């Protein structure tokens, strides 16, 4: 080897440590990828998530960032498409070199990109609810929306108190609907409640009279609808048209006052499990979530002039737990992953998070309350 080549090699070797040591210096931005269904049929999820994420990042950066580093949020609009989620996830990891990804908005999208994040050793904090996202546990995959299995159990608890033993189950043909259908059938059987009929409808359907006519013919005592699509408002209206006067239970995906307004009088009395954001005013001042919920609600509604929803709250929680982990571990992704896995007692919008090696949700059934619709508003459900 010539002297010139030796000199070049030595220079490169001496420069490399300097390059690596400067890579994470204070002042660098922390790139966070965000996959939200900002447009499309799931925009009622993704739009408030995007707004919340931008609001939080602005607030964190205005306060100096994290240890001197500003957050850089890179939002990709998946429009609720699993195919787009796959493409964007690869782009965020391979081209943008993000530190972590928050989202996607839906369970179907999340399930499609889990393996991509695992292979890319990139932290993923999903905003979707299906338990299968984190069960079984994957090293880099977490979520912040309460489990659909716990929602199903809360519904069954109310049914047992109302002596309901036979139900009709309807669900949308997407990831959330499919996962919820499976959990509801499993949990109902465990609680001695028979699913007399289970019907799946297209998530784009605008009329469900045909489906509900079949359900009515089975003489069910109650109906459960599991979806995160506009059908949540169509179901109660169609039931009213068919004179189906039995109780209607919805999944936690009903947690948006928009659906109540669209359902109108038909929405009165709907029962569903949800986080406490929707009833934050009714919480005791000593409740561990009260201050967080009230501040988020005030900040979001004053900034965007619209009601805060539990869905935007999922984005809040995703950024919250990620930034808490970075504060503890710094810019080493593996150490941040470990720190996230060991976060305890962190109050957020969905509940108080306590992650562990075996639990990448960090919430249990106590993160839910049962709510109902009264006079066009969400109120706590009075257990009888």
Give the pLDDT confidence score for residue 272 in this predicted structure: 97
Query: What tokens appear for 303 in the block?
Result: 């900034």
Kindly report, as residue ranges, where domains of CATH 3.40.50.2300 are found in the chain: 30-146+289-353, 149-274+369-380
Return all residues near 88 (Cβ < 8 A) that are at least 6 apart. 33, 35, 76, 78
Give the pLDDT confidence score for residue 121 in this predicted structure: 98
Return all residues near 307 (Cβ < 8 A) that are at least 6 apart. 257, 258, 301
Lay out the sheet containing 100-102: strands in order across: 71-77, 30-36, 100-102, 123-126, 141-143
Query: What tokens appear for 42 in the block?
Result: 């799931």
Q: From CA 58, how far away is CA 169, in angstroms rounded? A: 42
**pTM (two decimals):** 0.86
Q: From CA 253, how far away is CA 148, in angstroms rounded? A: 10
pLDDT per residue, tens digit, the chain (384 aa), is 554 444 444 444 444 443 333 334 455 899 999 999 999 988 989 999 999 999 999 999 999 999 999 999 999 999 999 999 999 999 999 999 999 999 999 999 999 999 999 999 999 999 998 899 999 999 999 999 999 999 999 999 999 999 999 999 999 998 889 999 999 999 999 999 999 999 999 988 999 999 999 999 999 999 999 998 789 999 999 999 999 999 999 999 898 888 899 999 999 999 999 999 999 998 999 999 999 999 999 999 999 999 998 999 999 999 999 999 999 999 999 999 999 999 999 999 999 999 999 999 999 999 999 999 999 999 999 754
Backbone angles phi, psi at 373, to 5 degrees: -105, 125
β strands within 44-130, DSSP E: 71-77, 100-102, 123-126
- Residue 82, CB-side half-sphere exposure with 13 Å CA sphere: 13
Q: Which CATH superfamily includes the segment(s) 30-146+289-353?
A: Response regulator (3.40.50.2300)
Give the pLDDT confidence score for residue 347 in this predicted structure: 98
For residues 256-288, one letter each, b for 16 or more C-beta atoms within 10 angstroms of the residue's C-beta and e for the rest, the string is: bbebbebbeebbbebbbbbbbbbbbeebeeeee
Give the pLDDT confidence score for residue 378 in this predicted structure: 93
149-274+369-380 maps to which CATH number? Answer: 3.40.50.2300
Q: From CA 172, how far away is CA 201, in angstroms rounded? A: 5
Give the pLDDT confidence score for residue 28 in this predicted structure: 85
Q: From CA 185, how far away is CA 332, in angstroms rounded? A: 42
β strands within 18-62, DSSP E: 30-36
Find, among 311, 312, 308, 337, the residue nearest to 325 by Cα. Answer: 337
Give the pLDDT confidence score for residue 256 in this predicted structure: 83
């Amino acid at each position: 080897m010539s002297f010139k080549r030796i000199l070049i090699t030595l220079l490169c070797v001496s420069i490399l440590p300097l390059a690596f040591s400067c890579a994470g210096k204070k002042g660098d931005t922390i790139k966070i990828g965000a996959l939200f269904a900002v447009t499309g049929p799931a925009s009622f999820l993704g739009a408030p998530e995007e707004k919340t994420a931008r609001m939080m990042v602005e607030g964190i950066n205005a306060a100096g960032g994290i240890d001197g580093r500003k957050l850089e949020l890179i939002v990709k609009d998946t429009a609720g498409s699993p195919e787009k989620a796959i493409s964007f996830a690869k782009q965020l990891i391979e081209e943008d070199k993000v530190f972590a990804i928050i989202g996607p908005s839906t369970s179907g999208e999340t399930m499609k990109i889990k393996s991509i994040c695992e292979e890319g050793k990139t932290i993923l904090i999903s905003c979707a609810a299906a338990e299968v996202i984190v069960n079984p546990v994957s090293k880099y995959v977490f979520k912040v929306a309460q489990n659909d299995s716990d929602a199903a159990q809360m519904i069954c608890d109310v049914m047992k108190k109302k002596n309901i033993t036979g139900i009709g189950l309807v669900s949308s043909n997407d990831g959330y609907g499919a996962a919820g259908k499976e959990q509801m059938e499993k949990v109902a059987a465990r609680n001695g409640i028979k699913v007399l009929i289970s019907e799946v409808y297209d998530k784009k359907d605008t009329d469900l009279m045909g489906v509900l006519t079949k359900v009515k013919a089975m003489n069910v005592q109650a109906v459960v609808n599991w979806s995160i699509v506009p059908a949540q408002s169509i179901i109660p209206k169609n039931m009213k048209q068919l004179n189906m006067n039995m109780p209607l239970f919805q999944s936690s995906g009903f947690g948006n006052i928009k659906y109540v307004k669209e359902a109108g009088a038909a929405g009165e009395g709907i029962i569903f499990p949800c986080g406490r954001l929707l009833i934050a005013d009714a919480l005791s001042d000593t409740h561990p979530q009260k201050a967080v919920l009230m501040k988020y609600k005030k900040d979001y509604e004053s900034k965007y002039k619209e009601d805060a929803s539990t869905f935007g709250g999922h984005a809040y929680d995703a950024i919250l737990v990620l930034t808490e982990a970075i504060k503890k571990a710094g810019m080493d992704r593996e150490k941040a992953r470990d720190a996230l896995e060991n976060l305890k007692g962190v109050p957020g919008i969905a509940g108080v998070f306590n992650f562990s090696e075996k639990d990448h949700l960090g919430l249990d059934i106590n993160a839910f309350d049962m709510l109902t619709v009264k006079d066009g508003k969400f109120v706590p459900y009075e257990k009888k």
